[in-house]
Amino acid sequence: MNARLLLLCIVLISGLALPGNVGCGQTAAGGGKEVLLPAPKTTGGMALAEAIAKRRSVRAFADKDLTIEQISQLAWAAQGITEPSRGLRAAPSAGATYPLEVYLFTANGVFRYVPQGHKLVQLRDQDQRSDLAKAALGQSSVSSAPLDFVITTVTERTSGKYGERAERYVQLEAGHVAQNVHLQAVALGLGSVPVGAFRDAGVSDLLKLPAGETPLYIIPVGYPQ
């Protein structure tokens, strides 16, 4: 990676040291810059039982950035592809319809996670964590965390197969994704907190969500203070 490309990567992800196998600077179909994430680890690490025992809601975070490896691992735990031959993901989904979208808010911008290719697409380059916190009724954990996940749903992806029952299925799926993130955070030495109190319209406006896509969940993640 040359110096110019490395500089672009650093601008895209606040304070993160990017390894040599991370691509950056490509233009996605939607017009944003792409950040190719390093491959996630699928073996080793903290035992699942230990992560479950240690998980607690953390609402105060240290002023310390996450590494690109940590962000990669968390995004993969949320919606990463775990069986490439069929495109199956880390969290179960009714009929493998995958109605959920995952967005990341960092100091240097807002990104959407794309499971295919395990990458981020930059939506904007402003720090909007404080705006997200305002939409979340002023919760300080949202503005102080170095990383906020926002999980949204495009329910029609599931309702086409399951009708009205899809409303329940997508909410269950959001819980599966969130628990993966919470436990992965613990395994990485981080903390997180589930946030369900927010104004739907405020989050939707902030992300400029299209009709038919609605927010379900916010998860601040960072080093416990």
Residue 108: the pLDDT is 87
State the DSSP H helix or E strand holding residue 149, giving kind and residue range, or none if neither: strand 147-153
Domain with 63 in it: 37-222
pLDDT number for residue 32: 82
- Establish if 18 belongs to a structural domain: no
Asked if the structure places residue 174 within a domain, the reply is: yes
Residue 30 is predicted with a pLDDT of: 53
The token pair at 148 is 């906020």
Instruction: Output DSSP code: residue 29.
Output: T
The C-alpha atoms of residue 166 and residue 99 are separated, in whole angstroms, by: 10
Q: What is the CATH number of the domain that holds 186?
A: 3.40.109.10
**Is residue 17 assigned to a domain?**
no
Q: Which amino acid is at 83?
A: E
Mean pLDDT by 10 residues, the chain (225 residues): 40 39 46 91 97 98 97 98 97 98 97 98 97 98 98 98 98 98 98 98 98 98 97
The reported pTM is 0.88
In a domain, 110, yes or no: yes
Q: Is residue 150 part of a domain?
A: yes
Q: What is the domain count for the chain? A: 1
Q: What is the pLDDT of residue 148?
A: 98
For residue 154, how many C-alpha atoms fall within 13 Å in the half-sphere facing its CB? 10
Residue 1 lies in a domain: no
Q: Is residue 95 part of a domain?
A: yes
Amino acid at 74: L
Residue in this structure with the two tokens 């691992």, named with its chain if needed: 73
Is 127 part of any domain? yes
